[in-house]
Structure 1
């Protein structure tokens, strides 16, 4: 999986993403849990949109991502107090004492094997202080199967266009993306392939419990009401 070229156009493609809803959901969870939270670690921070928003709300933020291109863009944005670190989130090293860890926008689905996900959960637990919170989301299996698998998506702008094919093989989704970006009088083509895993909520719950967490609540589609009927499922977990 490469973000070498995608990083350049990522923010434009995600301009309508519900960043404010992710930020608001997390802050409301903290209010509900009555948790005194200062230090927050974001795993799979990408170009840092959520990281920056939370930093501007007063949290001391650290953003981790595997892609140096994504982190370079994140670091060039408005807030300079954030610490940016390039690491594999399934093998975090040197993190401890965080009040909360977050991972939004389907990051967990990009970990395509159960061992890797278990390792991510275990290292996340180690990064948290006692009873710290871990809040993350995943695509619901119904959304992945009904709205992504077997579908083709395309968008055309004045200086950018893309075609996105999504194929399914068992519980793996393969996203084949072809981009055309304006380069002077020509258009430059680049291709990327990304894979995601469709996880059952039962498997995620089992791996969380096995790797240092209790599940405080499960939500769907940014609602604070508990439930699992929706496109995006949120887990609120506490280190034990």
Structure 2
């Protein structure tokens, strides 16, 4: 997963405003009276959000499971002396350090398909949080994965990339399967094809809150996408702020 995808990821995500995401996180921190210095970003991907934390001189550690995504991130972040990049897994990462702020953005949490592993992830996050730390993450909502993405097909055609995104939602285990076929334009008008399969688990807000509580977090707040309003039944992205 992500081997070829990593090198076109930024083109496909061009409509995502990571700077807006960064300022939204800063608003959250201000709302909870937190001024972190030491930040951990889980599943950092190609480093799009990481860039803004690095530029603002946070002591930043980032990790991702995909070495290809990390190689793209390295090209963006290598000029910063305050960044460490690691190849680790969200579920069982081990870093000999504690952090003021831990982040997981862009629905990376949905890629953890088993509730017991998600609980382990949350416990591990809490273990790596310093006293007074804060954990911020988001998910694709159950509604979005089941009703918006699930069992639908999307087609995108740009100057250099054509792809077909077919989806199937399994009601038994609440897992949304993404099947993507890409055609990437090469020199002389030829195209190279590759295929990707991704799986995301659809979690309900109350399930996430219960797991966080079981992991030992004392306060959990949930918000509708990029606001400080409570999520609705049709919220497509839900942001969580968690205090140990």
- TM-score bin, normalised by smaller chain: over 0.9
1:236 paired to 2:235? no
- For the residue of structure 1 that corresponds to 2:238, the secondary structure is strand
- For the residue of structure 2 that corresponds to 1:222, the secondary structure is coil
CA distance in 1, matches of 2:8, 2:122: 30
TM-score (norm. length: structure 1): 0.95
Q: Report the equivalent of 1:139.
A: 140
CA distance in 2, matches of 1:55, 1:137: 21
Instruction: Tell me how many residue pairs correspond in the alignment.
Output: 237
Partners of 1:215 and 1:235 within 8 A in 2: no
- For the residue of structure 2 that corresponds to 1:76, the secondary structure is helix
- The Cα RMSD (Å) is 1.2
Partners of 1:166 and 1:175 within 8 A in 2: yes
Q: Report the equivalent of 2:228.
A: 224
CA distance in 1, matches of 2:154, 2:181: 11
Q: Report the equivalent of 2:92.
A: 91
CA distance in 2, matches of 1:177, 1:144: 16
Residue segments in structure 2 that go unaligned for 5+ positions in a row: none
CA distance in 2, matches of 1:17, 1:66: 21
1:159–1:207 CA distance, 2 compared to 1 (3 A): same
Please state how far the C-alpha of 1:52 moved relative to its aligned partner: 0.7
1:147–1:120 CA distance, 2 compared to 1 (3 A): same
Partners of 2:55 and 2:80 within 8 A in 1: no
Give structure 1 regions of 4+ aligned residues with deviation exceeding 3 angstroms. none
Q: Report the equivalent of 1:69.
A: 68
Q: Report the equivalent of 1:208.
A: 212
Partners of 1:96 and 1:126 within 8 A in 2: no
Question: Quick one: which of 172, 178, 181 aligns to 2:175?
Answer: 172
Residue segments in structure 1 that go unaligned for 5+ positions in a row: none
Partners of 2:145 and 2:169 within 8 A in 1: no
Question: Which stretch has the larger CA shift, 64-73 or 151-160?
Answer: 151-160
CA distance in 1, matches of 2:170, 2:141: 17
1:4–1:120 CA distance, 2 compared to 1 (3 A): same
